Structure 1
Amino acid sequence: MGAATVPIEQADLVSHAIGELARRTRFPVAFGGLERDGAIHVTAIHGARTRSIEGLVVQENRGLGGRAFAEKRPRLALDYRTSRTITHDYDRAILGEGISTLFAVPVIVTGTTRGVLYCGSWTQAPVGDVVAEPAFRVARDLATELRVRDEVDRRIAMMPTGSPDRALSPAAQEEVRESYAELRSVAAAIEDESLRVRLEQIERRLAALTGARGTAEGSPEVRLSPRELDVLACAALGATNSEIAQQLDLKETTVKSYLAAAMSKLDASTRHAAVARARRIGILP
């Protein structure tokens, strides 16, 4: 059961998700991992009393997690030891930890299972909506961040290579700006504060690709609120107030208010001038 090597960033995402899973549910044991080479490789464990789960690799359709992986839906074993609906390939790991009830939730990204998160209890524990919903939210948050990172990495890979000082082509700059606006829209809908912080780190990565270095020399520091930045990022792509309102799930009057505040802070008389100055001082890519 050798553990797979996964990118450090993705391993950190899974570790955070497992910590949230343990915090939000009443299960004493939480573990999980992402898919690699057709199997789920467990890379994060919280609350285990033994080391039996370490390095677990779960094949598709095998065990409880393998079924969740293949069927793309949660699976539950109230009494894992006697369950007849799963194979028992991983009894040594699961029963070795003393787990009785096991709940497996797949992480689905654009229709593909990218990982599985597990909650376990040493005694039989019923799993109702109050227990299951927090686990579903953690899986959805992880899926969202994986999807965003996939898209960012895809667009970065399409950009021209060469000297770090080489300016991006106009088409490449638009790719960055579209990704940035989409990322702002996704982040605006996420309640998990730590997840939003990590998404902001990706935003800065995108902004850096256009050569933005922060506040321009000699310019006063400008701080936009998250919502002002959301609205301005959409406006930078030419979206109307109505379109921005629909995209960010806001009232059109609210969009106008945020845009006016951003223009005032940027000392700009039009939205186009606000966008231009925000790009010049590194607030927008």
Structure 2
Amino acid sequence: MAVEALASGQDLLTHAVGDLAARTGMPVAFGGFERGNSVEVTSIVGTRTPSISGLVVQATRGLGGRALVERRPRLALDYRSSRNITHDYDRAILGEGIATLFAVPVVVSGKARGMLYCGSWAQSPLQENTARNALQVASDLATELRVRDEVNRRLSLVPSPDATPSLDVAAREELRETYAELRRIGADVADLGLRQRLGEIERRLAALSHDGAAAVEPLDVKLSPRETDVLACAALGQTNAEIAVTLALREGTVKSYLQSAMAKLDAGTRHAAVAKARRAGLLP
């Protein structure tokens, strides 16, 4: 049972493009990811013609290509007559009848990973609210991509049981650290689909740690998400103060969650609670 990485993010892009149109009120929105120094438009909403479909924007070319290399938004209030951009893509943009176009790069860790566009068929000034909302959508998408990058990086470190029938101590500890980190990341993710996918991976990681180990002992206990988070951190040997920093909670709140988990597991110490949770398959 290998642990699969998360998908590339096309689902997130599709959601972001739809959100861009809804939050800015601009009738046309489209976007794509950077690949090979260009952006291929793979998600479109609101268009009246097929002219933008399949559009590939090269770095430095057009409004989006300039925004890509500069890593900052670019606006063309009158696209047809703009002298600040090359007009390589007039056939696509003007073919759709777009007059005003706003291009916002999706910047992750200093690199432009994609481009979001919103436009209108009539020439009109870009309201401050509209620009702010467009920037927020791009920022949200960048955050989700950054989360996926970190999740995939951590999953790549987890050994596959297909290659190693039983996990050694170091591998098992790495798996447990990855589980705890995925729990922390999941708590900060807004996208429901991504959170559900993370939950599936967490359950598979917990099961993976038991492959070749002692059988799971069924236990009629249901820990809350935060009780599980706190217990997962405690399993790594973190103190209450360290858990509080990791999970951005008050130390007193951490203590409360820990005591609640211990009571549910009928354990007198945190170490006993962790051991019981592992035997029950609630923790890796």
Q: TM-score range by the shorter chain?
A: 0.7 to 0.9
Give the structure-1-normalised TM-score.
0.83
Check if 1:68 corresponds to 2:36: no
The residue number in structure 2 matching 1:174 is: 173
For these two proteins, the number of residue pairs brought into alignment is 277
Stretches of structure 1 that go unaligned for 5 or more consecutive residues are 1-6
- My pick for the range that moved more, 234-243 or 58-67, is 234-243
Shift of 1:211: 4.6
Matches within 5 A, 1:181-196: 181-196=180-195
Check if 1:260 corresponds to 2:254: no
The amino acid that maps onto 2:224 is: S
Shift of 1:45: 0.9
**In 2: Cα distance, 1:117 partner to 1:141 partner:** 12
The residue number in structure 1 matching 2:89 is: 90
**Counterparts in 2 of 1:114 and 1:209: CA distance versus 1, 3 Å:** farther
Q: Percent identity?
A: 64
Shift of 1:20: 2.2
**In 2: Cα distance, 1:114 partner to 1:127 partner:** 24
Deviations 1:26-80 (A, max 9, x none): 1221111111122111111111111111111111111121122111222222222
Shift of 1:226: 2.7
- Asked which structure has the greater RCO (Cα within 8 Å, sep 6+), the reply is 2
Check if 1:99 corresponds to 2:98: yes
Shift of 1:101: 1.8
Deviations 1:174-200 (A, max 9, x none): 333333333332332344545533443
**In 2: Cα distance, 1:140 partner to 1:258 partner:** 32
Contact 1:151 1:179 in 2 (8 A): no
Shift of 1:238: 2.3
- My pick for the range that moved more, 112-121 or 216-225, is 216-225
Matches within 5 A, 1:26-41: 26-41=25-40
**Counterparts in 2 of 1:232 and 1:162: CA distance versus 1, 3 Å:** closer
**Counterparts in 2 of 1:68 and 1:232: CA distance versus 1, 3 Å:** farther
**Counterparts in 2 of 1:11 and 1:103: CA distance versus 1, 3 Å:** same
The structure number with the bigger radius of gyration is 2
**Counterparts in 2 of 1:227 and 1:132: CA distance versus 1, 3 Å:** farther
**In 2: Cα distance, 1:243 partner to 1:252 partner:** 9
**Counterparts in 2 of 1:267 and 1:114: CA distance versus 1, 3 Å:** farther
Equivalent position SS for 1:150: helix
The amino acid that maps onto 2:256 is: S
Stretches of structure 2 that go unaligned for 5 or more consecutive residues are 1-5
**Counterparts in 2 of 1:251 and 1:121: CA distance versus 1, 3 Å:** same
The residue number in structure 2 matching 1:277 is: 276
